[in-house]
C-alpha cells in the first residue's frame, strides 16, 4: 500500500524564533560549535550569553539541530537538543534548527536520517567544493510519510532500542581503535626519542620536550637539518597534495571529502618525495609530514629539504609525535591558540635528536613492522564499523518509510 505524504513545512518549523529575554549577560547557555554535533548526539558545552552573537543559530530544548554544510550533512551530524543549560542555546551558523509541530519529534529526528531525505538534501546542495550547503527549501518542500501518532511512537521506540544496540557496538569498536592508536603513538614517541635499546645509557637533552636521550645521539637545530624550498609550478598541473594531522602528506585524489579548489594552481609550491611539508595554518594540530609523491601544495604551506643526517622516514615519525607538536607550538606566531602559524624562523628554533643513520634505519624498520602487525586488525574494525553504520541507516530508512510496520 502506498503511503500518503505531506510537505515537511506542514508538520515542522525551520529555524523557529527563540526568545532570550530572561537571560542576563553572565547567564550560562549551551553553545555548540559544529564539531560538537555528532551522529545522533551532541557533546555538552556551555558559554556565557554575552558571547553568543546574533550570527549564531538559536535553539531550545526539544528542537532538532542538523548540519547543513558538506561533509557534515552527509556524515549524519544531527541531534535532538535535550537538557540544555538554561533550556536554550546557540550553535554554529551552519546548523539547521527544526521544531516538530504536528509530528512526534523523535520520529522526525529519525526520518531526517533516512536515505530518502538525505538523497534529496544532497541533490539540493549549492556552493563550491567544501562550501556546499543543503538548500533550506528542502526542509519545507520535502514530502514525509503520514503515520498515525501511535504508529510514529512505535517506530521511534523500535529505532531507539535497535540503534542503541548498534551504537554501543560501534562505540566499543571505536574504543578499540583508539586504544590501538594510542599504543602505536606511544611506541613511536618512545622509539624516536629513546631508541630501541632499553639498556642504552642516557644523557639529559636539556630540552623539556625530549627529556633524556641515548648518550651517543647528537642534538642539532632544525635550521641546520631542514632547508626551506620555495620553487613554484609554472602550470599548476602537478598532483595536488594535502597535509593533515591525521594522514600526513597524501594526494588530494585519495581524500574522500569535498574540498575547495582554486581556479588555477599555477604558482603553487613544488614538492618532491622525501621532503617535509608543513601546513602553516594547522601545524599547531600536527598537520605536517614527509611526502612520498611528487606534487604541489598551497603557497601558504612550507616545504623543506631534509639534510643527509636524517632519514626522511625517521623525520616523518618524529614530527608527528605529540611531543614535537607541543614544541613547535612554542615557536608559532599568533594571539589565539587556534590561529597560530608556524613559519620557518620558528621551526628553525627547534632542536632535533639525531641518532646514527644505522639506528634510524632500525627504528624505522621496527615501527613499520609494528604498523604492519596491527594493520589487519584495524582494517577489520573499520570495516565492521562501516557495516554497522550502513545497517543502521538502512534500518532507519525502512522503519520511517513504513516497510517494518507489520513487525512493530
The number of distinct structural domains making up the chain is: 2
pLDDT in tens, 76-94: 999 999 999 989 999 999 9
Cβ proximity of 293 and 168 under 8 Å: no
Query: 223 and 140, same structural domain?
Result: no
Query: In whole angstroms, what is the distance from residue 144 CA to residue 146 CA?
Result: 6
89 in any annotated domain? yes
> What is the predicted pLDDT for the residue at 150?
96
133: three-class secondary structure by DSSP: strand
> What is the tens place of the pLDDT at every residue in 273-293?
999 999 999 999 999 999 999
**Helix (H), strand (E) at residue 174:** helix 149-194
| Whether residue 131 is found in the same domain as residue 237 | no
Residue with cell string 514530502? 143
CA distances from 292 to 56, 239, 245, 249, 386 (A): 42, 12, 16, 8, 28
Q: Beta strand 28-32 with 88-91: parallel, antiparallel or unpaired?
A: parallel
Given 127, 146, 165, the domain boundary residue is 146
Measured N-to-C along each axis, helices 322-330 and 149-194 cross at an angle, to the nearest 10 degrees, of 80
Please indicate, yes or no, if residue 364 is contained in any of the structural domains: no
200 touches 191 (CB < 8 A)? no
Q: Is 56 in the same domain as 136?
A: yes
Longest dimension (CA), the chain: 79
Element at 153 (helix H, strand E): helix 149-194
* Structural domain contains residue 289: yes
Q: Is residue 311 part of a domain?
A: yes
pLDDT, residue 339, reads 81
Among 93, 114, 146, the domain-final residue is 146
Question: Average pLDDT, whole number, for the chain?
Answer: 92
Domain that holds residue 141: 5-146
Q: How many CA atoms lie within 13 A of 32 on its CB side?
A: 34
pLDDT of residue 255: 66
Answer yes or no: is 333 within a domain: yes
Instruction: Tell whether 111 is covered by a domain.
Output: yes
13 and 128 co-located in one domain? yes
pLDDT of residue 127: 87
Kindly report, residue by residue over 301-355, the tens digit of the pLDDT: 999 999 999 999 999 999 999 999 999 999 999 877 768 999 999 999 999 999 9
Cell readout for 408 is 512493530
Q: Are residues 10 and 140 in the same domain?
A: yes
Span between the terminal Cα atoms of the chain, in Å: 17
The answer as to whether 47 is a domain residue is yes
Indicate if 136 and 223 belong to the same structural domain. no
Q: How confident is the model at residue 1 (pLDDT cuts 50, 70, 90)?
A: low
Q: pTM higher than 0.85, yes or no?
A: no
Q: Which region holds residue 20: left if phi is over 0, alpha if psi is between -120 and 50, else beta?
A: alpha
Contact 289, 162 (CB under 8 A): no
| CATH code for the domain of 141 | 3.90.220.20
Q: Report yes or no: 152 and 104 within 8 Å, Cβ to Cβ.
A: yes
Q: Are strands 351-354 and 218-221 parallel, antiparallel or unpaired?
A: antiparallel
pLDDT grade for 156, boundaries at 50, 70 and 90: very high
Q: Poorest-confidence range of 93-97, 124-128, 380-384?
A: 124-128
283-313: string of b/e by CB count within 10 Å (b at 16+)?
bbebbbbbbbeebbbbeebbbbebeeebbbb
23 and 137 in a single domain? The answer is yes
DSSP 334-384: -SSGGG-B--HHHHTT-EEEE--HHHHHHHHHHHHHHHHHHHHHHHHHHHH
pLDDT at 131 > cutoff 90: no
Phi-psi region of 185 (alpha: psi -120 to 50; beta: other; left: phi over 0): alpha
Kindly state the average pLDDT of the residues 219-245: 94
pLDDT more than 70, % of the chain: 96
Nearest CA-CA partner of 340 in 331, 353, 352: 331
Are residues 137 and 235 both part of a single domain? no
pLDDT tens profile 18-42: 988 888 888 899 999 989 999 889 9
Cell of 166: 548498534
Q: Which residues of 19-36 are buried (b: 16+ CB within 10 A; e: fewer)?
A: eeeebeeebebbbbeeeb
Q: Which three cell numbers stand for residue 43?
A: 557533546
Of 115, 131, 146, the residue at which a domain comes to its end is 146
Using the Cα atoms of residue 126, residue 132, residue 138 and residue 140 in order, give the sign of their dihedral. Answer: negative
The pLDDT value recorded for residue 205 is 95
Distance from C-alpha of 268 to C-alpha of 260, rounded to nearest angstrom: 15
Within-domain flag for 393: no
The answer on 250 and 141 residing in a single domain is no
Q: Looking at residues 375-398, what average pLDDT do you find?
A: 96
Amino acid at each position: 500500500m502506498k503511503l500518503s505524504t505531506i510537505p515537511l513545512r506542514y508538520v515542522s518549523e525551520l529555524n523557529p524564533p527563540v526568545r532570550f529575554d530572561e537571560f542576563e549577560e553572565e547567564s550560562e547557555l549551551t553553545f555548540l560549535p559544529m564539531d560538537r554535533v555528532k551522529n545522533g548526539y551532541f557533546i555538552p558545552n556551555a558559554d556565557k550569553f554575552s558571547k553568543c552573537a546574533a550570527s549564531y543559530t538559536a535553539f531550545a530544548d526539544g528542537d532538532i539541530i542538523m548540519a547543513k554544510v558538506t561533509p557534515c550533512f552527509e556524515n549524519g551530524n544531527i541531534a535532538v537538543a535535550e537538557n540544555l543549560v538554561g533550556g536554550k542555546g546557540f550553535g554554529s551558523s551552519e546548523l539547521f534548527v527544526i521544531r516538530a509541530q504536528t509530528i512526534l519529534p523523535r520520529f522526525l529526528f529519525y526520518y531526517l536520517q533516512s536515505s530518502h531525505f538525505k538523497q534529496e538534501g544532497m541533490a539540493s546542495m549549492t556552493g563550491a567544493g567544501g562550501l556546499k550547503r543543503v538548500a533550506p527549501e528542502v526542509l519545507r518542500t520535502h514530502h514525509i510519510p503520514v503515520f498515525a501518532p501511535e504508529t510514529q511512537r512505535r517506530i521511534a521506540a523500535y529505532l531507539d532500542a535497535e540503534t542503541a544496540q548498534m551504537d554501543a557496538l560501534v562505540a566499543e569498536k571505536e574504543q578499540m581503535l583508539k586504544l590501538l592508536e594510542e599504543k602505536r603513538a606511544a611506541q613511536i614517541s618512545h622509539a624516536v626519542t629513546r631508541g630501541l635499546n632499553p639498556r642504552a645509557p642516557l644523557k639529559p637533552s636539556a630540552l623539556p620536550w625530549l627529556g633524556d636521550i641515548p648518550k651517543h645521539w647528537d642534538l642539532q637545530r632544525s635550521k641546520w637539518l631542514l632547508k626551506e624550498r620555495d620553487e613554484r609550478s609554472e602550470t599548476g598541473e602537478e598532483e595536488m597534495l594535502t597535509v593533515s594531522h591525521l594522514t600526513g602528506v597524501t594526494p588530494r585524489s585519495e581524500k574522500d571529502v569535498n574540498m575547495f579548489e582554486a581556479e588555477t594552481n599555477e604558482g603553487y609550491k613544488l614538492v618532491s618525495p622525501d621532503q617535509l611539508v608543513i601546513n602553516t595554518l594547522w601545524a599547531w594540530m600536527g598537520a605536517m609530514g614527509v611526502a612520498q609523491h611528487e606534487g604541489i601544495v598551497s603557497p601558504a604551506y612550507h616545504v623543506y629539504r631534509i639534510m643527509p643526517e636524517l632519514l626522511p622516514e625517521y623525520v616523518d615519525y618524529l614530527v608527528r609525535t605529540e611531543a614535537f607538536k607541543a614544541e613547535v607550538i612554542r615557536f608559532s606566531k599568533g594571539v589565539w591558540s587556534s590561529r597560530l602559524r608556524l613559519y620557518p624562523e620558528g621551526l628553525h628554533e627547534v632542536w632535533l635528536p639525531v641518532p646514527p643513520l644505522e639506528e634510524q634505519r632500525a627504528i624505522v624498520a621496527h615501527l613499520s613492522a609494528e604498523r604492519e602487525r596491527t594493520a589487519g586488525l584495524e582494517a577489520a574494525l573499520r570495516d565492521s564499523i562501516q557495516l554497522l553504520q550502513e545497517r543502521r541507516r538502512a534500518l532507519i530508512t525502512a522503519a520511517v518509510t513504513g516497510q517494518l510496520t507489520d513487525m512493530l
